[in-house]
Amino acid sequence: MSKIRRLNHAVLYVSDAQTTANFYQQVLGFTIVQVAFDGRAVFVRAGGSENHHDLGLFSIGSAKKSSGVGLYHLAWQVDTIDELVEFRNRLKTVGALSGESNHGVSKSIYGHDPDGIEFEVMWMVPATDWGQYAVDAVVEPLDLNAELTRWSGISTKI
């Protein structure tokens, strides 16, 4: 049976992504990987991390926590694209699959728990194949069958 390997990154809704990124940079030694969408999204990586990013920060303006500031989703990483396909099938079976995306450095599926809280299950492309995506956060349609043909059996286990 396939197993979740680790938490890869978190995405937070925050009042101001750039201010929050500066905090993580100054206080915890994170580095800014990319600023996107006119500064409304900032992706940061922890100093000792080998992830593309550890936190995604999305600006929503000044809002109370109860109205949106907080966690957006968690991303659970698997070792192979084959396992991603297995998790996709599981989510479809229980009616909890909510989306699929190609992020360049990763291939992702999205689901929701019984309370509607979204999460991501993702497979990381080998870092040697990131190319332009190493510094470019993208959201593109995912052709999971094509990705399976290309990457089947390739583990990115750390």
The predicted pLDDT at position 158 comes to 57
Query: What's the rounded Cα separation, in Å, for the pair 100 and 98?
Result: 7
65 within some domain: yes
143 within some domain: yes
In tens digits, the chain (158 residues) has pLDDT values of 898 888 889 998 889 999 999 989 997 789 999 999 999 999 999 988 889 999 999 998 876 555 577 778 888 898 999 999 999 998 999 999 999 999 999 999 999 887 677 889 999 999 999 999 988 889 999 999 999 999 999 998 75
**Contact predicate 155/79, CB 8 Å:** yes
140 within some domain: yes
The predicted pLDDT at position 63 comes to 63
pTM of the model: 0.73
**For the chain, what is the domain count?**
1
What are the angstrom distances between the C-alpha of 154 and each of 25, 50, 85, 145, 151? 33, 18, 13, 15, 6
44-79: pLDDT as tens digits? 999 888 899 999 999 988 765 555 777 788 888 989
Q: Position of tokens 């500031």?
A: 69
Segment (H or E) for 4: none
157 within some domain: no
Assign 3-state DSSP to the chain and report helix, strand, coil percentages, each to 5.
30, 35, 35
The predicted pLDDT at position 28 comes to 79
1 within some domain: no
Query: What's the rounded Cα separation, in Å, for the pair 69 and 61?
Result: 9
Domain span at residue 97?
A: 6-151
CATH code: domain of residue 72: 3.10.180.10
Distance of CA 83 to the CA centre of its chain: 16
What totals of helices (H) and strands (E) does the chain contain, helices first? 3, 8
Nearest alpha carbon to residue 59 among 69, 67, 46: 69
What are the angstrom distances between the C-alpha of 112 and each of 5, 64, 116, 145? 19, 23, 5, 22
156 within some domain: no
106-112: strand order across its sheet: 31-36, 41-45, 55-59, 6-14, 70-78, 118-124, 106-112, 97-102
